[in-house]
Amino acid sequence: MSVYKFVELVGASQKSWEDAALNVVAVAGKSLENLRIAEVVKQDLVIAEGRPIFRVRLNVSFKYIHEDEEANVGWGVS
């Protein structure tokens, strides 16, 4: 049985909303394993000192590994 957890994360970029979303996924991928889906929940634009800052809010899902599954990693059991 597989279980997935969702977390809400916010990213920003001076280039685009797409770049902001990619930043979120890149940073989250460094500490969360088995990322599955990133869903854009909200986009907004902040004007700071006359420059746009693109922000996105994402729901990011990853597979939750149970303690008993950790012992079976690499054995083809999921």
Where are the chain's structural domains? 3-70
Q: Model-level pTM?
A: 0.75
Cα torsion 63, 69, 72, 77 to 10°: value is -60
Q: What is the pLDDT of residue 3?
A: 84
Fold for 3-70, please state it. Dodecin subunit-like (3.30.1660)
64: Cβ contacts below 8 Å, ≥ 6 apart: 3, 4, 5
Divide the 78 residues of the chain into consecutive groups of 10 and give the mean pLDDT of each group: 89 97 94 90 96 96 75 49
